A and B are shown apart, each in its own frame.
Chain A
Amino acid sequence: MSGAIVDWAVLIAQILLIAAMACCAYRLIRGPRAQDRVVALDALYVSGMLLLVAFGVRTGSQIYFEAALVIALLGFVSTAALAKFIMRGEVIE
């Protein structure tokens, strides 16, 4: 009973998160300008991170949490670097 509930919820959540990633990927490819692409990339990695957490609930193992943590950490750094690049044209001055 409760296994089925969690199963279905995780399935729905995964489908929704994959659809969210598809929307972000559309904006990442289509985006008229560079800043649109950076915002889309930011949203894309957050959705991917949440997908990993949902996958961790599905398999019942805690390994995926660490991958999600690494994505969250590195995503911030990469977005900050990209914003700097958009502003100045170089990352380290």
Chain B
Amino acid sequence: MSGAENLPVWAAILVAVFLVAGALLTFVGALGLVRFRTFYERIHLPTLGTSFGTLFILVASSLFFSVLEQRFVIHEILIGCFVIVTTPVTLILIARAALYRDRSEGTTGIPRFERDDGDEDGGTANR
């Protein structure tokens, strides 16, 4: 261990709580990925790890290095911003692709193609 002994106890406890909370959230999300039945239920689960799981672990890391080196270490914000901004984009892309495949195969139990309401470009735009 390099340097964790020099950490004050309050900082160590905070770092520990944030680390375990973030890892627990990520694990719960991944467990749901195994346990849920349909694809449209499963697609919700990774967001648990990519929103608050990532946030907590990055806060823990930032706090650890900030207290240890007596200066602000906030470059973890880069990862945080990037992951939190890009996850919805990727999940929307995957969900639309899956919906498109299911519709073109005529699977039952999924929403129909939406009607064109002028400004809305719902399901019809990716045909």
Contact = CB atoms under 8 A, between A and B. Distances in A.
A39 B23 contact: no
Given A42-B46, A43-B33, A57 B26 contact: no
Contacts of B15: 5-6, 9, 57
A50 B58 CA distance: 8
B94 A17 contact: no
A12 B23 contact: yes
B34 A83 contact: no
Interface of B: 1-5, 7-9, 11-13, 15-17, 19-20, 22-24, 26-27, 29-31, 33-34, 39, 42-43, 45-46, 49-50, 53-54, 57-58, 60-61, 64-65, 68, 73, 75-76, 78-79, 82-83, 86-87, 89-91, 93-94, 96-98, 100-101, 126
A86 B76 contact: no
Nearest to B49: A46
B1 A23 contact: no
B60 A5 contact: no
